[in-house]
Structure 1
Amino acid sequence: MILNSFLISVIEFRKDLIIVLNIVETFSGVGAQSEALKRAKIPFKVSATVEWELSAIYAYDILHNGPQDLSLYRHHNKESLLKELVQYNLSSNGKEPMTEKALSALTVGQLKAIYHSLINNNNLVDITSVSADDLDDDIDILTYSFPCQDLSVSARWWNNSSGLDRDSGNRSSLLWEIERVLIEFKEQNKPFPKFLLMENVTAIRSKAHIENFRVWTNFLEDLGYVNQIYDLSATNFGVPQSRKRTYMISVFVGDDLEIEQEVMDYFLSNNLEHIQLSAESINPISDYLRLDYSVKHYLEEAIHATPNFTASREKIFNNNLKLATDSQANNSLIARTITTKQDRNPNSGIIAYDKNPLVEGTRYRNLTPREAFLLMGFTEESFDNLTIKNPSENVRKAFLTQAKLLKLAGNSIVVDVLCGIFKQMDYINNHILPQDDKESESLSDFGIEVNIL
């Protein structure tokens, strides 16, 4: 990131007062955590990410680092790029690894874009192969929003009851890879991360999964962490989306009982679950919908989100929330949970056509990827960097199709909620935990926004 000369001079002058948090994002997706830290004006650097899905890997790099300079790899040909990339356990769909044949089917430009993304974000790719040796000794926050597919209600429809079972080999059992890494930290006498942050579906504390979850929380407590568990809804952070998720902040206190009590007292007095916004205090849905079709890209995106009107889609039209009609938003409504697909029943809500259908013979459109990203707390500028401002059109079209953008949004975390959580961590770090060799104050105390990636 390029900082202006004023900020550089401030940093140099007050560098003894700056805390730059060292972040490791495992299961990083598109980096909602980084987006939230920027929004919260907390200086940070990301020392490592862990993500294996191509579209998320590429989107993360563009969202947080801007356009790629692929000229850095101008001396590479397809053969040399493949030689580098076959070493990684990459996935095109987030479900199973890519074959070498599938990787070879990508163009040179696409291979360069992925390689650039991996190097630029120190992406370790495969959580099962990450070791403590791969990570810094001074991690402030390690995040782990591990896959929810085997915990969610939908898993029951497929007779999938494996959940968090340690040896199930499913995607949600990847939680135990974090346990393995922390055990390695302990065996090597390596300092534990100051904070851990988990996010997942609320079903993680359901009857089916609670015993495994308790094993996990007890393990963390035995290491010296204090756990604060929240069930937080996006609406209570101003976002008109019905999305409740379970978050767990784990604060490392070791065997210091006094610090442990201070941390517990802080959470007791500042419980985020006590935030209850009235309906009038939630941002109106019109702030998130893009209904002004005089803007060319809004119109193009809306047309793309307009499906043919079939019998099955008539059910979608009849059964789902009508968040707007033509260009008039219904601000009395909030969207249902943003999921990985919108052309389904139920979905997050639709925009009905009455007098002005954008496509002849249709009655509604789905939310666009832009609207889905906005409802997840990302800025419009961030989304534009992925799409209309992205100079690598051929690469973008391969990795960021409309369907993949919707999936990335649905798999992400509401940024506004994360802001509230990170502000709590920042306070605890600056005012409760003992100060280490790092600088002792945050530039956010001076109202200055600096994000180092």
Structure 2
Amino acid sequence: MNVVELFTGIGSQAKALSRIANRMNIEVNILKTCEWNIHAILAYHFIHNGSSLPTDIQVLDKNQVLEKLNKFPLSADGKIRINPSSLKFYNEDLLKNIYHAIIANNNLVDITETKGHDIPNETHLLTYSFPCQDLSNVGSFHGYKNGIDRDKNTRSGLLWEVERILEEKVLNNQPLPRYLLLENVTALEAKRHEGNFQQWKEKLEKLGYINKVYRLNSEDFTIPQYRKRLIMLSVYVGDDNSLKDAINNYWIQHDLENREYLKTLNLVKQKLDVFLRRDYSNSVYLQEALEAQPNATNSRLKIWELNSKIVNENDEVNNRVQTITTKQDRHPNSGNLYFDPKNGKSKYRFLTPRECFILMGFDEKDYEILLENNFYTRKNSKFFSRDVLYKLAGNSIVVNVLEAVFEQMVEIDKLYLSKSILVYSSIKDEEHKFI
């Protein structure tokens, strides 16, 4: 399974594919990524590749690394390009690791500069979890109201860059990826955005894809978090009606939104306490809890009163948390835990970044490697700050949900073998051929 991840983030897609690889007997190759946020770039690399730095990069001096990095349009907040001159204030080792992460993961960096020919012809799966800020209710509250309207230059409108890339491949007589995976907020189907989303689905159909739209909640896939997201799996069938019918029949019989079908998967929702780190005899967990404890201000007291109690005053643990977003110190948030070390602060705490990572389906060791390689950007300022770690988790996708969808994708792949095989011809013009 050859994969290209657009809007890569910290790689929940790669994580899900790596988990199903052994049990589904597939080999996963991440051919390219595309991400411009330097925190996500480095977190992805550490989580999926480790932290070793090759000699040819170690020997570079700071000016050489800066010269190389200045060629890339990078961002520190995921919203605007960072001023290249500000990179010089970063730690030299940090800069080397960012550069290595870009090179090692074949990172295309800028989706607007990515061309159709940049997507390898042997790509089976292209994922695109484009930004949701202009679609979500929170984004609308902050004035982001243009959604995915064309030519409005919104972050969510980067969806149309994917359209351009696919069209360029067609114009170049290059094969399209067999599978496309979209993930975003369910507001894509809201009245404000449904016209644009319908236009996107129709475009994919014209290109030869059939689409399956799911609205999946993490609670149904063993993770005790209320997080409902829209996922669309698109499968290239060209004009093969037999293959199209076979895949549509598969989806009817294996509908991940069907409660009765979900029961057949024997997915057991884990208790929330398994994901929480409340063993305060562990000095690391205690320190993280203290850092997530707000001051006893009136506004923070209201946050406790108005939001769900993950753990209440009687030490009773709820059965789930609310949707994990990019920030916890706000209303609404994911919920709060009663916590009173009698230090004069509020008698509760937020979820810690560690707990957020685990509730997004990542392994605790994935979080640990970020802490182990947390460079100082300047005195008393770490690269992976608490705020950054919250954002990395909140912007990600629940891994367990993706596992279920990717398992279906692998099963559908068998239909290609039994009904019609999509062949990438290395002869002549590399057009799609069906046999």
Tell me if TM exceeds 0.5. yes
The gaps in structure 2 that reach 5 residues or longer are: 425-435
Q: TM-score w.r.t. structure 1 length?
A: 0.87
* 1:135-194 deviation line (CA, Å, top 9, x unaligned): 211111000000000011123324432111110001001000000000011001111000
1:303 aligns with 2:310: no
Q: Greater relative contact order (Cα 8 A, min sep 6): structure 1 or 2?
A: 1
* Cα contact 1:291–1:327 (8 A) shared by 2: no
Aligned counterpart, 2:19: 39
SS at match of 1:40: helix
* Inter-partner Cα distance in structure 2 for 1:105 and 1:299: 33
Instruction: Give 1:315's match in structure 2, choosing from 302, 306, 327.
Output: 302
Calculate the aligned-residue CA RMSD, in Å: 2.0
* Inter-partner Cα distance in structure 1 for 2:74 and 2:191: 34
- Structure 1 residue runs of 4+, over 6 Å off? none
Aligned counterpart, 2:433: none
1:344 aligns with 2:326: no
* Cα contact 2:217–2:226 (8 A) shared by 1: yes
* Cα contact 1:236–1:275 (8 A) shared by 2: no
Aligned counterpart, 2:430: none
Instruction: Give 1:83's match in structure 2, choosing from 46, 54, 67.
Output: 67
* Inter-partner Cα distance in structure 2 for 1:327 and 1:299: 19
Matched residue type, 1:260: K
* Cα contact 1:37–1:43 (8 A) shared by 2: no
1:362 aligns with 2:346: yes
Q: 1:309 to 1:137 in 2, by over 3 A?
A: same
Aligned counterpart, 1:22: 2
1:111 aligns with 2:91: no
1:206 aligns with 2:190: yes
* Inter-partner Cα distance in structure 2 for 1:393 and 1:51: 20
Aligned counterpart, 2:224: 240
* Inter-partner Cα distance in structure 2 for 1:238 and 1:255: 38
Aligned counterpart, 2:270: 283
SS at match of 1:335: coil
Matched residue type, 1:410: G
1:166 aligns with 2:146: no
Instruction: Give 2:78's match in structure 1, choosing from 71, 85, 94.
Output: 94
Aligned counterpart, 2:57: 73
* 1:207-249 deviation line (CA, Å, top 9, x unaligned): 0001111111000000100100000001111211111000100
* Inter-partner Cα distance in structure 2 for 1:372 and 1:324: 15
1:394 aligns with 2:376: yes
The gaps in structure 1 that reach 5 residues or longer are: 1-20, 439-453
SS at match of 2:177: coil
Aligned counterpart, 1:447: none
Shift of 1:370: 0.7
Q: Which moved more, 1:396-405 or 1:127-136?
A: 396-405
Aligned counterpart, 1:126: 110
The aligned runs of 1:250-269 (5 Å cut-off) are 250-269=234-253
* Cα contact 1:306–1:359 (8 A) shared by 2: no
| Count of residue correspondences | 412
* Cα contact 1:285–1:329 (8 A) shared by 2: no
* Inter-partner Cα distance in structure 2 for 1:135 and 1:333: 43
Instruction: Give 1:249's match in structure 2, choosing from 233, 245, 258.
Output: 233
Matched residue type, 1:344: R
* 1:79-133 deviation line (CA, Å, top 9, x unaligned): 1111111111100000000112222221211210110110110111000000122
Q: TM-score w.r.t. structure 2 length?
A: 0.91
Q: 1:68 to 1:329 in 2, by over 3 A?
A: farther
The aligned runs of 1:352-431 (5 Å cut-off) are 352-353=338-339, 356-357=340-341, 359-387=343-371, 390-391=372-373, 393-394=375-376, 398-431=382-415
Q: 1:132 to 1:327 in 2, by over 3 A?
A: farther
Identity of aligned residues (%): 42
Shift of 1:326: 7.4
* 1:254-311 deviation line (CA, Å, top 9, x unaligned): 1101001101111111011114779x95211101100001122111211111111111
Aligned counterpart, 1:292: 279
